[in-house]
Each structure stands twice: as C-alpha cells, then as structure tokens.
Chain A
Amino acid sequence: MSAVIENHHDDHHHGPAKGITRWLYTTNHKDIGTLYLWFSFAMFLIGGAMAMVIRAELFQPGMQIVEPEFYNQMITLHGLIMIFGGVMPAFVGLANWLVPMMIGAPDMALPRMNNLSFWILPFAFFVLLSSLFMEGGAPNFGWTFYAPLSTTYAPPSVTFFIFSVHIMGASSIMGSINVVVTIMNMRAPGITLMKMPLFVWSWLITAYLLIAVMPVLAGAVTMMLMDIHFGTSFFNAAGGGDPVLFQHIFWFFGHPEVYIMILPAFGIVSHIIETFSRKQLFGYSSMVWAMLSIAILSFVVWAHHMFTVGMPLAAEIFFMWATMLIAVPTGVKVFNWVATMFRGSITFETPMLFAVSFVVLFTIGGLSGLMLAIVPADFQYHDTYFVVAHFHYVLVPGAIFSIMAAVYYWIPKWCGNMYDERLGKLHFWLSFIGVNVTFFPQHFIGLAGMPRRYPDYALQFADWNMVSSVGAFLFGFSQLLFLFIVIKTVMGGKKATSKVWEGAKGLEWTVASPAPYHTFSTPPKVD
C-alpha cells in the first residue's frame, strides 16, 4: 500500500503500465474510455447477432429457424444488450475520453471509481448472458419486463436478470456521479458553465438523469424480486397491488432513459456540424436550454407508453400534451443544426455524413413519435411495428449513428492516425441504405396492423418483412466493415495533425494526436 503513496509523484510523467494489468488496474480516463468503447462494440455485435436471428425468422411468414420460446429470449436480450450494453457504455466511453480533455482536466474526478464502474459491466453481462444456458432459458418477457410476464410467468433465470440489472445500475450511477463531479469540479479556470462544449453540457444533463432514474429501476426490479420469491403483492391485484404499477415505475425510469440515450448524441452532432460547416454553432445557449427543457420534461411524460392500459381520461390528456411539448425544444435543436449548416462551407467527410443523416433520420423518428403521442392515434399504433420503426429510427440512425460519427471524428485524436476516408464513406452509405431499408417498411406493416414481438405473421405482411430483413442483413454485415476500419486505423495510417479538422474548435484539438497519456498536468489557459 505505502509503495503506491511514495510512487505517486513520478506517476504524472509515466506512460501506461505494461501488460494486461494496464487494463485491469487502470485509473486513466483514456484507458477506461477505450475499455468502454470496445466493450460496447462487442455488445453491439452480440446484440446485433440476435437481431439477425430475429430478422431471419421474420424473413418469411411461418416458423422456420427458431422456436417461439427462443425467439422471445432473442427479442428480450437484443433490447437489453443494445440499450445497457451497447449504447449507454459507448456514450460513457466517449464521456471518459472527451470530457476531461474538453474541460482541461487531468482525468476524471474519481479515477478509481471510474475503473470500478467499467469492470462491473463485463461481469453483469456475463450474468445476463449466462441465463441463456439455464433451465427454462433466458428472460423472455421483452426488454420492458412487464409484470406479470416477468413475475408470475417468468423463467427461473429472472432472478439472475434482476441482480444483473442491479449491478449494471450501480455501475451507471457511479459512472454518472463521476461525470457530474468532473464537470462541476474539474473545469479549467475560465471555462464557465455557458462556455462548456456542448458535449460536456449534454453529458452533465444525461448524468443527472441517470442518477435520478437508475435507482428507480433498482426499486422496480427489487419489487419484482420480492413478488416472485418473498410473497409480496406489489404487482398482483389479488393482494391489492396492480400490474399497472409496474408499468408506471418502469416508465418513470424508462422515459428519461430514452433521453439518456439521445442527449449525448445531440452534443456530438453539434460539434461535428459546427466543425464541417466551418461556422460558429448557431444558437449555443438555446441548445443548452433546449437540452435542459427536454431533461425536465422527460420526467412528466412517462405514461405515454401506457395509453392503452386503461388510465383515467385526465391522465391520458395530460401525458399527451406534455409529450407534444417536447417537440418544441427538439425542434429548436433541429432548427439550430440546420441554421448552422446554412451558408456554411460544408465538406462531407464521414463524420459529417453520419451527423447530417442523424439530423434527417432522427427527425423522422421524432415525427413518428409525435404521431404516437396522440392518444386516439396511439390506440391504433400501440404495440405494432410502427412503434418498432419509431424507436429504431431514433436509436439506430439516432444514437448509434452519432456514436459512429463520434468515432470517425475523434479517432485521429485517440490513436494519432487518420481513418481510411474511402472505406469510411462506404461504411456510411451501406449503413444508411441498410438502416432505411430495414426500418422504413416497418412503418407500413405497423400501420397495416402487424403486432410486435411475434415470431410469425399474417401473409399480407410478407413482402415488406422480407425487404426489412434484407436491409437488416445489409446493415448488420456492414458493421464488420466498421470493425475492420477501426482496427486498420488503430494499427496505422496517415498521421493526424493535432488539429485534425480544419474547422475544429475546442481544447481537445490543442493537444498532440494521439493525445498524451496524461493530458493536462496543470490547468490550461483558457480565454
């Protein structure tokens, strides 16, 4: 122990430790960011493979590849893995890499806890995935795990699911506390709140949302555990509880959760559009206020996921209007991105392609969300493929495109090499075509009445399902190209300058590429 204390003074000048312990014991925000990003990519591929199983089964009507029970496990794990293992850790990885560099800090505020937040995740997902091999199979009740499907009718592995959610939540809470404390306490002198880069702002708000709602999720799964094993009746009407109570608690977590998965994307896209338009970002402060409004509103709209569950009319109306209100700050953001591009000297490098398509496709997802917010319309759309199309439009070309854009944009800073622009553009176009061919037809089959979460469907949905499956395979296999591009860039390539992009602004572009292991040992000067 004391050796650690005596050695610390040399630590600032050291590079990374040698061997595997570098990754196991690291307290370095860049190492931990890298771990998060690779972990989320692995989860993206596993969750993606499950999506391929789903689309293969839905390629034709009738049962061909998997049993219905296994299909249910696939849709459940696909959702859980993509949300908790793919998108969220990827954003935390980006926060780890970028937030300290953007605010001129040496590292995250609580570096050891940072390591803990990461290393819980592989264990948590090992527990979750191991349930596939248990008696009765993996969780099969959908990622929303509504009671009583997840209580009375759940397979025994639900206990493992509950505890894995518990430790994932602990990881998220610790990670978010770290981000909030870093931003509140570690900014270099001169970086006032309203001078913070928007990615930092977006993560400050996201982290606040996470700290507020992850404990609520922990409460929900705890009630499930007690109902299943210890005889309580939270979600059982026979004892005076209510299964609808589960949905209220779950969506009180779940709706802020969807903004947790999109706010950092807003931050990323703002940076990229600003850089490649070679202009000042339009409406910085309105961007900040828009994100804050979205975050606050996200706490009072949860029941729009439950319009058909039988709520009082007054509640339906309130949640409808509150939900529609969110379109206002979101509209401000889309307007600002477009206004930033207006009369800019735009070039379309890969990050910009992803960012621009984010603006367009995310807006499509937002508009279908607005349709779903209308109570009488939702009565028709509820639990159809229209909903599937809606949230995949905001999550895939929304959240995931922004993550890919961020990787292309900052990877020269991370490893010092430029990626292959030609391959990057190829990856973009394959993904862009794939994602639209997959999810756009799902609007049609949803409006035509195809329900979600079934392994089979009526004949009239056959054509569009086949198109959708072809698109999904195209999108899925294109991501192997992404993996190849990333590995190729890490291994070598044209050397990147410190500034990398002509129009880049911000502290992270003032340090060398690749960024030194310890970026700032004293606070940088900021004007």
Chain B
Amino acid sequence: MSGGSYYVPDQSRFPIFMAFSLFVLVMGASSTINNLDNPESNSVYILYSGFACLFLTMFFWFRQVIKEHLAGLDSNQLKQSYVYGMAWFIFSEVMFFAAFFGALFYVRTFAVPWLAGDGAKGDAITAIELWQGFESTWPVITTPDQGSEYVLAEKSMAWPGWDHALKWLPLWNTIVLLSSSVTVHIAHLALKNGNRKKFNTMLGVTVGLALIFVGLQAAEYYEAYAHYGLTLNSGIYGSTFFMLTGFHGFHVMMGGFMLAVMLARSVFAGHFEEHDHFGFEAASWYWHFVDVVWVMLFLFVYIL
C-alpha cells in the first residue's frame, strides 16, 4: 500500500456515459428486433449509435485507467482489487455458460427421451398421442413435429468417425484453440523474463490463432447453413448447437480483441513491465477461460 493511505479516484463522467450508452443500445436492440420484418424501420441506427457510444466510452475509460496506472497512482491495494474483480467477472461468465450447458444436459437427458414416450406412464401416453413416431436420438434431426413447425436439417455436426476425422473442422478448431492457450502462456513467461520480443511474437501468434479459429467457425456455420440445412430453426439440436458455439465464438472474439489491444499496447506504446502487467494477465485469464469452455463444448456438443 503506497504511503499507507488509501486512493480514491476523483469524480468521473465515464460511468454515466456508459449507462446512457447501454440505454441507447438496449432501446435500439429491442426496437430493431421487434421491427425485423418491417423494412421501413430505422431503429437499427439507434442500435448502431448505442454501440458507437459504448465503444467510445470504454475506449476513453480504459485510456484513463491506463494513464493513471502509468502515472503511478494505483496503490498495491487497488491493483489487487483489479485482480479479484477480474476473477469474479470470469466466474460470472462461467455461470452464464452453465445456463446453456444446463439446458443442453436437460434436453438430452430428460426432455427428448420423454417426448419419445420414455419415462412414467403419463408421459408416454402424452408423447404417443402428440408426437407419433418421434424417436429419441441425439443429435435430434427429426423434430417431434416432423418438421411442420421447424425446418429439418439433413445432417448434424457430430463426430463423423475416424475415417473423416481430418476433414472435420471442430477437431482443427480444438487444435487451434488449445495451441493458442499454450502460446499465450509462453508469451506470459517471456514477459516475466523480460523478453519483450518473444512476448510480442507469441502474443501475435495467439491473436493470429484466434483469427483462424473465428474463420474456421465461420466456415463451419456456412457449411451448416448452406450444406447441412442445420440452422437456428432446426429444432433443439440446432438451438443448443448454435447458441453454445455462438456465444463461445462471441467470447473468442472479445478475448481475441482484448489480446490484440494488449499486443498493440506492447508494440506501439511499450506498456507492461516484468512484474506489473495485470492488463495483459487479465486478458490471458480470459483467454484460458474461453479455451476451457471450448473443451467442454467439444466434449458435450460435438463428441458425446
């Protein structure tokens, strides 16, 4: 603790700007979504301005925090607060994914078998009357309504067997993302050892791998939509598949963006010291978290 006294930041206008940006953003998002089939709606511009305000506020807010840090205003106590804060933020993200994994486990273990007539007598009767001929399989390709409300896919994203393994994108995605976790760790070690050049290189490689991952994921989505007929509209398998991988992909983009910012800070501004680099470390934690989520996805969405 520097000098034994506490540090309290001065008034700041960033928070309320950010709250206002969020307000514009959610108003824009709600009215855009409510007007999706109305071509004359201009709500999307409210959404865009919300995003613009949010990014601008975050840019200036983070810039201020970095400036204060470089000016030596942060006490050790405040630095520790950032560490705890980031850890708990990641915990909240874990719980967000837990909701979607919970949904996946629930439909796989209970809902789909029950719809096919499994379970206690009452369920079986309902299922036979309502959804004649529906059979419990996972992935669910033929939905209980046999495609009258939902559009049936032709093929799922599940494990294609050893013969086709090398052409299977999720395997490559796993390799890419796991390696990126290793490279970001090597970058971290390099930074701790004061090897700036290696740090920049390995961090650059990590950002590159992140981009490759997002590219492969986009290719996979294209394949799903264009060739497999697998969409958000193809029943519970499509729902869980796209929501889980989609939110994960979104987190990869955020984490990759954070790492790219850290790379730019290191390359262009020479930020981060051997023993003082929590900005980078927080981004790398986030990256490892995203990686762990992928491993879970790979297991429970693709393989099992």
Tell me the residues in window 3-48 of chain B with beta carbons closer than 8 Å to chain A beta carbons: 4-16, 18-20, 22-23, 26-27, 29-31, 33-34, 36
User: A360 to B25, alpha carbons, bound, how many Å?
Assistant: 46
- B80 on the A face (CB < 8 A): yes
Say which one of A112-120, A263-271, A409-417, A430-438 lies at the interface with B.
A112-120
Tell me the residues in window 360-413 of chain A with beta carbons closer than 8 Å to chain B beta carbons: none
- A518 on the B face (CB < 8 A): yes
- A458 on the B face (CB < 8 A): no
- B96 on the A face (CB < 8 A): yes
Q: Which residues of A contact B140 (CB under 8 A)?
A: 240
- B239 on the A face (CB < 8 A): yes
Say which one of B82-90, B175-183, B205-213 lies at the interface with A.
B82-90
Q: Which residues of B contact A192 (CB under 8 A)?
A: none
Q: Which residue of A lies closest to B247 (CB)?
A: A222
User: A142 to B255, alpha carbons, bound, how many Å?
Assistant: 37
Cβ contact of A233, chosen from B33, B36, B89, B236, cutoff 8 A: B236
- B103 on the A face (CB < 8 A): yes
**Could you give, for residues 95-109 of chain B, a 1 whenever the CB lies within 8 Å of some chain A CB and a 0 otherwise?**
110111011001100
Residue contact A26 to B26, C-beta cutoff 8 Å: no
A180-B88 in contact given A107-B8, A120-B19, A238-B150 (Cβ < 8 Å): yes
- A484 on the B face (CB < 8 A): no
Interface size class of A (residues with CB under 8 A): 35 or more
- A109 on the B face (CB < 8 A): yes
User: A126 to B5, alpha carbons, bound, how many Å?
Assistant: 40
**Could you give, for residues 270-283 of chain B, a 1 whenever the CB lies within 8 Å of some chain A CB and a 0 otherwise?**
00000000000000
A160-B36 in contact given A5-B71, A120-B19 (Cβ < 8 Å): no
User: A163 to B237, alpha carbons, bound, how many Å?
Assistant: 25
- A231 on the B face (CB < 8 A): yes
Cβ contact of A2, chosen from B34, B67, B148, B232, cutoff 8 A: B67
Q: Which residues of A contact B240 (CB under 8 A)?
A: 234
Residue contact B96 to A219, C-beta cutoff 8 Å: yes
- B233 on the A face (CB < 8 A): yes
A239-B232 in contact given A12-B8, A213-B95 (Cβ < 8 Å): no
Residue contact A240 to B15, C-beta cutoff 8 Å: no
Q: Which residues of B contact A164 (CB under 8 A)?
A: 26
- A166 on the B face (CB < 8 A): yes
- A347 on the B face (CB < 8 A): no
Residue contact A249 to B27, C-beta cutoff 8 Å: no
Cβ contact of B29, chosen from A163, A178, A239, A520, cutoff 8 A: A163
Q: Which residue of B lies closest to A216 (CB)?
A: B99
Interface size class of B (residues with CB under 8 A): 35 or more
Residue contact B34 to A156, C-beta cutoff 8 Å: yes
- Give the distance to chain A from B178, nearest Cβ to Cβ, in Å: 25
Residue contact B64 to A1, C-beta cutoff 8 Å: yes
Say which one of B115-123, B285-293, B296-304 lies at the interface with A.
B115-123
Q: Which residues of A contact B130 (CB under 8 A)?
A: 237
- B222 on the A face (CB < 8 A): no
Residue contact A110 to B111, C-beta cutoff 8 Å: no
Q: Which residues of B contact A236 (CB under 8 A)?
A: 149
Q: Which residues of B contact A237 (CB under 8 A)?
A: 111, 115, 130-131, 144
Say which one of A181-189, A420-428, A442-450, A504-512 lies at the interface with B.
A181-189
Residue contact B91 to A107, C-beta cutoff 8 Å: no
Q: Which residue of A lies closest to B136 (CB)?
A: A240
Q: Which residues of A contact B237 (CB under 8 A)?
A: 240
Tell me the residues in window 297-312 of chain A with beta carbons closer than 8 Å to chain B beta carbons: 310, 312
A215-B150 in contact given A167-B22, A181-B84 (Cβ < 8 Å): no
- B154 on the A face (CB < 8 A): no
Q: Which residues of A contact B77 (CB under 8 A)?
A: 185-186
- B267 on the A face (CB < 8 A): no
User: Can you pick out 25 interface pairs between chain A and chain B where the beta carbons lie within 8 Å of each other?
Assistant: A1-B64, A7-B10, A8-B7, A11-B9, A115-B12, A119-B15, A123-B23, A127-B23, A127-B30, A163-B27, A163-B30, A170-B22, A177-B85, A177-B88, A215-B92, A216-B96, A219-B96, A219-B99, A229-B33, A231-B233, A234-B103, A234-B236, A240-B143, A241-B236, A244-B111
Query: Chain B interface (Cβ within 8 Å of chain A)?
Result: 4-16, 18-20, 22-23, 26-27, 29-31, 33-34, 36, 60-61, 63-64, 67-68, 71, 73, 77-78, 80-81, 84-85, 88-89, 91-93, 95-96, 98-100, 102-103, 106-107, 110-112, 114-115, 119-120, 122-123, 130-131, 140, 143-145, 148-150, 231-240, 242-243
Further 16 A-B residue pairs, CB within 8 A, beyond A21-B11, A177-B88, A185-B77: A25-B11, A110-B81, A112-B9, A115-B16, A116-B14, A159-B34, A173-B92, A184-B84, A215-B96, A218-B99, A237-B144, A244-B111, A245-B103, A245-B111, A252-B99, A523-B4
Closest 7 CB pairs of A and B: A219-B99, A240-B236, A232-B239, A106-B6, A215-B96, A116-B15, A123-B23
